[in-house]
Amino acid sequence: MKAAIISQGSVSSKLTKEAMERYFDEVTAIDVKELEINISGDDADILYKGEALGKYDCIYAKGSYRFSQALRSLSTILKGYSYMPVEPEAFTVAHDKLLTQLLLQTQGIPMPKTYISTTVDAARKILSNMNYPIILKFPQGTHGKGVLFADSYGSASSILDALTALKQSFLIQEYVDTGSSDIRAFVVGDKVVASMVRKSAVGEQRSNVHMGGHAESINLDKKSQEIAVKAAKATGAEICGVDILPGPKGPLVIETNISPSVQGITKYSGVDVANEIAKHLYERTKSFVSVRKEKHKKEIMEELNNTGNLITNLDFKASRIILPEIATNYSKITSDDQVELKMEKGKISISKLDIN
């Protein structure tokens, strides 16, 4: 089976590709920046480096929010042809924290109270009714860079003015006191395969490792595991990094990452996460391919019954043509029959001779 990993070429993606090579016959790394998608009324083409994208049984596509539209388009077009662990919608939802929270809400997944406003006045009103500290967050921030902390109405109000002047959209969120830590649960398929707790650096509220935080392995409780798997399912991703705040009233999901890094979690949890991903991709691709084959067979039979025509490639043994079994069954020609072969350039026809 052939697989491809579409990514920005990070170390994580390279590790995942290497692990996939242990399972698949062939694994191709595709640079997301070199993809081009052309859609028209009756056609949709995906080009890679200017040429038609090859055919793959499995495509694991990932990339930052800058590529969310391209990846959503690609997976919409290829759905049904290749097995893909991430649903098309997930590429746009998971890269927007507001859409993520809305989706999690509809699935009853616990999360911090989150507010959205359409005017500055409405936002100020929300801010005046909140208990401090609070969090203000950019919908598309990553690595902790779009997370702002305000410890009073005064500071929240001036942050609000700055965000408004910059035309930056944001959400307002209750601050969850976790002692400055959060949990990354790495979901593959129906289970959490690895998890770690991240603790923020002294004087820092955000526990991202990119923000100087450090991480360690954790034995995640059953409830958090269930919530993480549910959040990944709601997002539409079989491979998903779920961020959970262990709040005083229980675990709360703040984010689902569909392009999660495997390096840190592998180091801290001691689990070979890339291998878990590769194994899962392989098993799922195997069943996808067998269902696809059955479907293809059925389609061929339908086509044959309607027209008696079959469009296919031929098998050759040395220089002899082996016809598909379906041709024998459909024509009812047996080894006892005498046949007439008519040949010309680009054409062969076989007719049973009526001996009587």
Report in angstroms how near the CB of residue 82 gets to Mg ion at its nearest. Answer: 29
As given in the structure block, the two tokens for residue 246 are 């262990």
Q: What is the DSSP string of 147-182?
A: EEEESSHHHHHHHHHHHHHTT---EEEEPP-SSSEE
Report in angstroms how near the CB of residue 184 gets to Mg ion at its nearest. Answer: 8
Q: Toward ligand ADP, which CB reaches closer, 71 or 196?
A: 196
Residue 147, contacted partner among ligand ADP, Mg ion, none, CB below 5-8 A by kind: ligand ADP
Q: Toward Mg ion, which CB reaches closer, 57 or 243?
A: 243
Residue 175, contacted partner among ligand ADP, Mg ion, none, CB below 5-8 A by kind: ligand ADP
Q: Toward ligand ADP, which CB reaches closer, 76 or 142?
A: 142
The site for Mg ion (CB under 5 A) is made up of 243, 255
Residue 242, contacted partner among Mg ion, ligand ADP, none, CB below 5-8 A by kind: none
As given in the structure block, the two tokens for residue 343 are 């040949």
Report in angstroms how near the CB of residue 65 gets to ligand ADP at its nearest. Answer: 10
The set of residues, in sequence order, having a beta carbon less than 8 Å from that of 29 and lying 6+ positions away, is: 4, 5, 7, 9, 13, 14, 17
CB-based contact 187:193 (threshold 8 Å): yes
Report in angstroms how near the CB of residue 93 gets to ligand ADP at its nearest. Answer: 14
Report in angstroms how near the CB of residue 49 gets to ligand ADP at its nearest. Answer: 31
Residue 207, contacted partner among ligand ADP, Mg ion, none, CB below 5-8 A by kind: ligand ADP
CA distance 91 to 72: 5
Q: How many other C-beta atoms are found inside a 10 Å radius of the C-beta of residue 25? A: 9
CB-based contact 165:158 (threshold 8 Å): no
> Per DSSP, what are the bridge partners of residue 5?
29, 60
Report in angstroms how near the CB of residue 255 gets to Mg ion at its nearest. Answer: 5
Element (H, E) at 29: strand 26-31
In terms of Cα–Cα distance, which of 62, 95, 55 is closest to 78? 55
Q: Toward ligand ADP, which CB reaches closer, 78 or 220?
A: 220
Residue 206, contacted partner among ligand ADP, Mg ion, none, CB below 5-8 A by kind: ligand ADP
Q: Toward Mg ion, which CB reaches closer, 172 or 185?
A: 185
Q: Toward ligand ADP, which CB reaches closer, 136 or 229?
A: 136
Report in angstroms how near the CB of residue 238 gets to Mg ion at its nearest. Answer: 19
Residue 135, contacted partner among ligand ADP, Mg ion, none, CB below 5-8 A by kind: ligand ADP
Q: Could you give the 3-state DSSP secondary structure of residue 18? A: helix
As given in the structure block, the two tokens for residue 252 are 């709360």
Q: Toward ligand ADP, which CB reaches closer, 88 or 260?
A: 260
Residue 176, contacted partner among Mg ion, ligand ADP, none, CB below 5-8 A by kind: ligand ADP
In terms of Cα–Cα distance, which of 178, 215, 213 is closest to 194? 215
Q: Toward ligand ADP, which CB reaches closer, 173 or 275?
A: 173
Report in angstroms how near the CB of residue 203 gets to ligand ADP at its nearest. Answer: 13
The site for ligand ADP (CB under 6 A) is made up of 112, 135, 137, 141-147, 173, 175-176, 182, 200, 206-208, 243, 245, 254-255
Q: How far is CA 259 from CA 6, 13, 16, 103, 164, in A?
A: 11, 9, 12, 18, 30
As given in the structure block, the two tokens for residue 236 are 């539409």
